[in-house]
Amino acid sequence: MSSPLPPYASTLQLTWFYAFRVICGLIFFFLIFPILVIVPLSFNAENFFTFTPGMLRLDPDAYSFKHYVDFFTNPDWQQALYNSVTIAPAATILATVLGTLAAIGLSQAHVPYKSAIMAILISPMIVPLIISAAGMYFFYSRLGLQGTYIGVVLAHAALGTPFVIITVTATLVGFYRSLVRAAASMGADPVTTFFKVQMPLIMPGVISGALFAFITSFDEVVVVLFLGSASQKTLPWQMFIGLREQISPTILAVASVMVALSIALLFTLEMLRRRSERLRGLSPG
Amino acid sequence: MSSATDTPTDAIAGDGIVRAADGTPLKRSLARALRREKLRSFLLIAPLLAFVVISFLLPIADMLFRSVENNIVRDTIPETVQTLASWDADSGELPDERVFAALYRDLQIAVEKRIHTRLGSRLNYEKSGMSGLFRKTGREVRRLEAEGPFRERFIEIDEDWADIEVWAVIKRYSPPYTPGYFLNAVDAELTAEGVEMKPENERIYLTLFWRTLVMSLMITLSCLLLGYPIGYLLSHLPARSANLLMILVLLPFWTSLLVRTSAWKVLLQQQGVINDFLVWINLIDDAGRLVMINNQTGTIIAMTHILLPFMILPLYSVMQTISPSYVRAAKSLGASDWTAFWRVYFPQTVPGIGAGAILVFILAIGYYITPELVGGTSGIFISNRIAYHISTSLNWGLAAALGTILLLLVMALFYVYDRIVGIDNVKLG
Amino acid sequence: MKLKSILMATAAAGVLALPAFAEGDMSLAEAPCENCADELTVVSWGGAYQNSQIKAYSEPYAEATGVTFVWDESSAEAVAKLRAMSEAGNVTWDVVDVVASDAIRLCDEGLAIEIDGATELAPAPDGTSADDDFGVLRVNDCFVPQIVYSTTFGYRTDVAEWNGAVPDDICDIFDLETFPGKRSLQRRPIDNMEWATYCNGTPKDEIYDVLSTDEGIAAALAKLDTIKDQVVWWTAGAETPQLLADGEVVMGSTFNGRLFSAIAEQDQPIAMMWDMQSFDLDGWIIPEGLDEARLNRAKHFLKFATDTQRLADQAKYISYGPARASSAPLVGTHAELGIDMAPHMPTDPANAANVHNYDYTWWADNRDDIDAKFQAWLVQ
């Protein structure tokens, strides 16, 4: 399949070749259609979740920005947006700093109990969210952290750290340790070595880990549902309530905005990946 | 790293011991360097380790402890528990007056503190009717005179106090730790005859665990069926087109879970986009609209979509490393396309299948949000039940027991995953 | 239970009275509040109901006092969250809106404080004490009732397969032949078990006797079984109106005020079926364990928010009957639509021809048992 079929391919092979591409096309359609379909629907002038006859006729009157206006003016959604953009960065910074340090520590040659430590550090990604949420709910209540900004930030940071560990460790695997030795032998102290040599090389991993941590927090709903109170209501929380209770098309407007955000994130990551590969000489760039 | 400064010239002294620059034997010097290196890596790891343990593992351990903790009986009616210790439940006789008198005194305090109904609810998990019994008795007991005979007085309030089984249950659940919640979590109960299964019409959890497993398996299988061709295609296309198509896989991966769930809600509803389309092309008529939401179908479709990237990514990374020469060699030796694929190519992708399948399965069995929103009653998972017991029925012990079982299941799978893939080799994006 | 007769009396008064809109007396909000917190976390149900509370209670109160309100839409999980908060010794809510049965549970478990009707609640304008004004609706000392609502059915008026038949009897819910289509019911045993028992042919006053037996429960579940695969189960009050509006179900139970919003405000092709509507109460409690400043503020707000005028004001925004007898004559027209609200009240005689009297005490005693059986049945 890597090259067009050879001229002697049988009809069966030819049919299969095209059938396979059609099948793949359908699967890609399945992957992408649900995400794209909500974008036109979010411009629906009616309070419905389906295409009205007017929309199908491309009648301009059947489209409107009213759900977007609602999103940007409704205090509930604004509060949720505000909470999301204040909680996620704080959780991201905490997760990224702690996670990067730990990943560097883990990449050293002699770490006792390495696999046990790794298992513990990765666990927030593996434990089902409902269990994490329930545990934190009871425990944080006791510490007076339930329903507080700090409580939600701590919880989200804990959930985000495994991603930082994984991405930073991945960049460290290809990291040429002699560079650190070279720097040290030339008289650089460890701190200088870290910032001048190590940091620039693992930066792509750190940033993509941070993005993962960010999206983990930004997208998280189960833990915040249990751990938060009304003043920590985030966008996913508001969407969850909306979907379960008053399902308003504003949700689709919010969803479209979030799709735009994820496209932006995706491109940032792709740029980072290319940069990282270029830096490490894995691809000609 | 400090050993890098060692110079070999003056290393060997007269006694034949290899020494470092400062004169210490090299062995010891190296050991010290190793210790320092260990210490440094530990210091780098420690903050996160402490953070994860305190903010994440301790809370979970604390919650799981609730699955066996049972101090409520002892704390609410301490004197009764004490006097009841000498009573033999198999004697066929009611406890004597001392126990009833103790219960009277305990309840006076408990009712004053308004904690007796909670005990009733607790014991009701083990025997139905206990909740009502404690509420009713709590209402009456304050009006009771402080003079005996208490046994008759209590039986007057509610004749259930003359039921030996009531007392047997109180005695059985007096200890500070109990297997009761775990038994409940597997539809069993502790009776006088030992552990027994609950009556057929009260069994829930085995069914639910089973359903969770079966549905997760179906989701994993559909992810595999849909993910395999995509992984194959991507790994056989030139890098440039593969990268472009990869965006179609990564976009859903990066899109909010709730956005995708709302999309499926919009698509699958009876008055939704898919049904509208099917009616429009006359495949179904307006009355025969398909029911695809609030049931298992809804959960499986939506979750397959949500988890599909987790299958494609590991498959793709394995398929990328398979050299095309194997298949070419097979074909040149006369294998048909199918044989070459099935006997030569496919076996090499098994590690990718294993990694993807376990990852998807682990993620699927713990799902909560999507089943809650599109699953109705038949499409819900054990997680939804745990959430129900935490926030609605308030049976936190049972929630903890169900959570423990689920966690053990996930940990076992994770162990397998670690064996196959290794935690260090998890790749993202 | 005398609940019904009191309700009828309130309703009758409401129908006769002319809309009387005196300038709202704000003296309670303006009354000095010593050592009071200046933030108040109020927990309610969200949606149209919470909006009516914001308009009638919190906006005027905030204007008079400058207090900041934080609204939490967690009433559905109020008991669980309050229990966790009290176990942790960290209560973050000040005033919580709950249904009567939850209030009973919270009060029984010591999670809500007792409120003295004579000193901590406002008397009626004619001097009647608050406790007398609320009458039996004040089901215990912790609970300050706000509204009487009912759980009742709405149905779509444009279902072709019904051939013009109109559901006007509760047992039409179980009649899949005349009324095919999906129904939405609340995911809990309360009301559903009673309706099923009633439609099994049990006289109204024997429903709870029958449900007290294992056979009675089995029979009710068997009745529900006949429509089980046609039921969409809801947990939030806004779901049924949404499902009806989307055409996902053809009939469904919900709170009457939610249906009112869908019919009168959003003009959906939906109608109400009042038969065997189940009356219930909703009101405030103050959690146990608040510090003094917050407690003072909560009580100050509560006294204002449950006075005669405020309860009547709420009825301008949603079709629930005010819980004070003295508020009924003040119920007027809808604030925006200008429709007379009285005929939309569950207590209106025309709507209350056949009502179901929901028994709190019985459910308090039996809820744990029946809940377990109901949930098991649901999963099977």
Chains contacting C (3+ CB pairs below 8 angstroms): A, B
Q: What is the token pair recorded at C268?
A: 């959906």
Residue C131 CB neighbour total at 10 angstroms: 14
Picking from B113, B117, B130 by the largest number of C CB atoms within 10 A of its own CB, the best residue to mutate is B117
Pull the structure tokens for residue C36.
Answer: 């009071």
Does the beta carbon of B278 lie under 8 angstroms from any beta carbon of chain A? no
Instruction: For residues B241 and B372, state if they share a domain.
Output: yes
* Chain mean position to CA A285: 25
Confidence at C16, pLDDT banded by 50, 70, 90: very low
B21-32 burial, b at 16+ Cβ within 10 Å, e below that, comes to: eeeeebeebbee
Let me know whether C190 and C302 are in one domain: no
DSSP, collapsed to helix, strand or coil, labels residue B421 as coil
Q: Which residues of C touch A (CB under 8 A)?
A: 41, 43, 46-47, 70-74, 84-85, 87-90, 92-93, 235-239, 242, 246, 266
In-domain check, residue B183: no
Q: Are residues B420 and B300 in the same domain?
A: yes
According to the model, what pLDDT value does residue A176 have?
66
C88 closest CB neighbour out of A47, A141, A247: A141
- Four-residue CA torsion sign, B115, B121, B127, B128: positive
The whole-angstrom separation of Cα B56 and Cα A156 is 10
**Domain match, C157 and C43 both:** no
**Whether residue C61 is found in the same domain as residue C134:** yes
Count of C-beta atoms within a 10 Å radius of residue A187: 7
What b/e readout covers C230-260, taking b as 16+ CB neighbours within 10 angstroms? bbbbbebbbbbbbbbbbbbbbbbbbbbbbbb
Domain range for residue C14? 3-149+281-344
Pick from A147-161, C62-76, C232-246 the range whose average pLDDT is largest. Answer: A147-161
Q: Select the residue of A30, A121, A140 nearest B49 (Cβ to Cβ).
A: A121
Is C378 touching B (CB cutoff 8 A)? Answer: yes
Residues 30-69 of chain A with CB under 8 A from chain B are 30-32, 34-35, 37-38, 41, 49-51
Task: Give the Cβ contact number of residue C174 at 10 Å.
Answer: 18
**Is C109 within 8 Å of B117 when comparing Cβ atoms?**
yes
Inform me whether the C-beta atom of residue A126 falls under 8 Å from chain B C-beta atoms.
yes
Domain match, B229 and B291 both: yes
What is the C-alpha to C-alpha distance for residues B275 and B269, in angstroms, rounded to an integer?
A: 7
Q: What is the dihedral of CA A202, A204, A209, A213, to 10 degrees?
A: 130
What are the CA-CA distances from residue B2 to residues A112, A162, A194, B7, B333 (Å)?
Answer: 20, 31, 16, 11, 58
Nearest chain B CA: its distance from A58 CA (Å): 16
- Residues of C with Cβ-Cβ distance to B392 under 8 angstroms: 77, 80
Which residue on chain A is closest to C41 by alpha carbon? A230
Instruction: Output the six-digit token pair for C17.
Output: 């009275």
| Claim to verify: residue C251 and residue C296 sit in the same structural domain | no
In the numeric block, which tokens belong to residue A162? 């495994």
In whole angstroms, give the CA distance from residue C249 to residue A162. Answer: 44
Same domain, B57 and B77: no
Same domain, C303 and C329: yes
Kindly tell me the sign of the dihedral angle through the C-alpha atoms of C313, C314, C317, C319.
negative
The SS3 assignment for B196 reads strand
* Burial of B106 (C-beta count, 10 Å sphere; 0-12/13-18/19+): buried
- Give which of A182, A206, A205, A177 is closest to A109, Cα–Cα: A177
- Strand spans (E) along C226-269: 231-234, 251-255
H helix or E strand, kind and range, residue C26: none
- Both B266 and B349 in one domain: the answer is yes
**Same domain, residue pair C335 and C301:** yes
What is the number of other CB atoms lying within 10 angstroms of the CB of residue C67? 19
Q: Sorting pLDDT into bands at 50, 70 and 90, what band is C276?
A: very high
Complex confidence, ipTM: 0.87
Is B4 within 8 Å of A154 when comparing Cβ atoms? no
Q: From the candidates A145, A229, A237, A243, which should be mutated to test the interface with C, based on the most C CB atoms within 10 A?
A: A229
Domain count, chain C: 2
Q: Token pair of A207, please?
A: 């940033």
Same domain, C25 and C112: yes
The span from the CA of C335 to the CA of C59, in Å, is 15
pLDDT grade for C48, boundaries at 50, 70 and 90? confident
Q: Are residues B75 and B60 in the same domain?
A: no
What is the signed CA dihedral for B123, B128, B131, B134, rounded to 10 degrees?
Answer: -80
Which candidate, B177, B232, B190, places its Cα nearest to that of B65? B177
C261 closest CA partner among B399, A47, A178: A47
CB pairs under 8 A between A and C: 56
| Per-residue pLDDT at C1 exceeds 50 | no
Q: How far apart are CA B91 and CA B95, in angstroms?
A: 10
Q: Which two tokens stand for residue B72?
A: 């409520």
Residue B187 included in any domain: no
Tell whether C127 and C101 lie within a shared domain: yes
User: Is residue B77 located within the same domain as residue B10?
Assistant: no
What is the structure's pLDDT at B1?
Answer: 42
Q: What is the pLDDT of residue C18?
A: 39
| pLDDT, tens only, B143-189 | 887 777 889 889 989 999 999 999 999 999 999 999 999 999 999 98
pLDDT of residue B10: 52
DSSP A217-279: HHH--HHHHHH--GGG--HHHHHHHHHHS---THHHHHHHHHHHHHHHHHHHHHHHHHHHHHH
- Select the residue of C92, C235, C242 nearest A229 (Cβ to Cβ): C92
Whether residues B44 and B128 share a domain: the answer is no
| Cβ separation B53–A13 shorter than 8 A | no
Residue A99 CA to residue A216 CA, distance in Å, equals 14
For B:294-323, CB contacts with A below 8 A are 305, 308-309
Chain-chain contact of A266 with B254 (C-beta, under 8 angstroms): yes
> Closest residue of C to B203, CA-based?
C376
Whose structure tokens read 């999507």? Answer: B370
Residues B306 and B412 in one domain: yes
CA distances to B90, B152, C115 from B93, rounded to whole Å, are 8, 14, 45
Instruction: Decide which of B10, B31, B65 is a domain's last residue.
Output: B65
Euclidean distance between CA atoms A254 and A256, whole angstroms: 5
Residue C309 and residue C166 share a domain: no
Q: Based on the fold, state whether residues C176 and C186 are members of the same structural domain.
A: yes
Q: Consecutive sets of 10 residues in chain A, 285 residues long: mean pLDDT of each?
A: 67 90 95 90 79 79 89 89 95 96 85 87 92 92 86 96 88 73 82 81 85 90 88 89 75 90 84 74 46
pLDDT greater than 60 at residue C11: no
Interface B-C: count of C-beta contacts within 8 A: 76
Picking from C39, C42, C81 by the largest number of A CB atoms within 10 A of its own CB, the best residue to mutate is C81
**Using one digit for the tens of pLDDT, what is the confidence trace for C95-122?**
999 999 889 889 988 899 999 999 999 9
Place of tokens 């007027």: C332
Domain spans, chain A: 11-62, 75-247
Q: Point out the residue among A143, A147, A241 whose CB comes nearest to the CB of C73.
A: A241
Domains in chain B: how many in total? 3
Query: Nearest CA to B317 among B417, B420, B425?
Result: B425
Do C142 and C289 fall within a single domain?
yes
Q: B166 to chain C nearest CA, in Å?
A: 15
Q: Is B16 helix (H, G, I), strand (E, B) or coil?
A: coil
What does the alpha-carbon distance between residue B240 and residue A213 come to, in Å, rounded to a whole number? 28
Q: State how beta strands C231-234 and C144-156 pair.
A: unpaired
Provide the shortest C-alpha distance from residue C70 to chain A (in Å): 7
Q: Does C365 share its domain with C240?
A: yes
Q: What is the CA radius of gyration of chain A?
A: 24
With contact defined as beta carbons under 8 Å apart, do C298 and C94 qualify? yes
B36 shares its domain with B114: no
What are the chain A neighbours of B41 within 8 Å (beta carbons)? 105-106, 108, 110-111
> Residue A42's CB: how many other CB atoms inside 10 A?
22
Q: Cβ contact (<8 Å) for B131 and C375? A: no
Judge: B128–C368 Cβ closer than 8 Å, yes or no: yes
Which of the four CATH numbers 1.25.40.10, 1.10.10.10, 3.40.50.2000, 1.10.3720.10 does domain A75-247 have?
A: 1.10.3720.10
Ranges B177-191, C309-323, C340-354: which has the least confidence: C340-354
A78 touches C at CB < 8 Å = no
Nearest CB to A245; choose among C47, C70, C85: C47
Which residues does chain B have with pLDDT short of 70? 1-14, 423-429
pLDDT of residue B12: 59
Helices (H), B53-149: 58-65, 71-76, 78-84, 97-113, 116-124, 130-141
Chain B: residue whose CA lies nearest to C83: B394
Say yes or no: B284 and B386 in one domain.
Answer: yes
How far, CA to CA in Å, does B281 sit from each of A139, B99, B269, C345?
A: 55, 76, 17, 45
What range defines the domain where residue B355 resides? 205-425
Best B140, B184, B212, B393 member to test C by mutation, with max C CBs in 10 Å, is: B393
**Contact yes or no for B236 and A158 at CB 8 A:** no
The pLDDT confidence band at residue C293, using thresholds 50, 70 and 90, is very high
Instruction: For residue A20, list chain B residues with Cβ-Cβ distance below 8 A.
Output: 229, 233
Q: Residue C353: in which H helix or E strand, if any? A: none
Q: In terms of C-beta density within 10 A (0-12 exposed, 13-18 middle, 19 or more buried), how is residue B268 classed?
A: buried
Judged by CB atoms closer than 8 Å, whether chains meet at C108 and B117 is answered as yes
For chain C, give the mean pLDDT. 86
* Cα–Cα distance for residue pair B70/B64, rounded to 1 Å: 13
* Residue C351, domain member (yes or no): no
* A245 contacts C90? CB cut-off 8 A: no
B258–A127 C-beta distance less than 8 A? no
Which of A42-51, B114-123, C194-203, C307-316 is predicted least confidently?
A: A42-51
Q: Do C77 and B121 touch (CB under 8 A)?
A: no
Q: Which positions 85-114 of C are in contact with B (Cβ < 8 Å)?
A: 105, 107-110
**CB of A243 closer than 8 Å to CB of A254:** no
C141 touches chain B (CB under 8 A): no
Q: Who contacts A55 (Cβ-Cβ below 8 Å, separation ≥6)?
A: A40, A44, A62, A63
Residue A4 exposed, middle or buried by CB count within 10 Å (0-12, 13-18, 19+) = exposed
CA-nearest residue to A142 within chain C is C88
CATH number, domain containing residue C233: 3.40.190.10
pLDDT given for residue B4 in this prediction: 45
The reply to whether B289 and B394 lie within a common domain is yes
Q: For residue C63, how many other CB atoms are within 10 A of its CB?
A: 11
Q: What is the pLDDT of residue C12?
A: 45
Closest among B259, B299, B375, B62 to A132, alpha carbons compared: B62
DSSP H or E segment with residue C153: strand C144-156
- CATH number of the domain at B239, please: 1.10.3720.10
Which residue is it, tokens 């993910």? B227
CB-based contact (8 Å) between B40 and chain A?
A: yes
Task: Report how far residue B127's alpha carbon sits from residue B415's, in angstroms, rounded to the nearest whole number.
Answer: 38
pLDDT at B286: 79
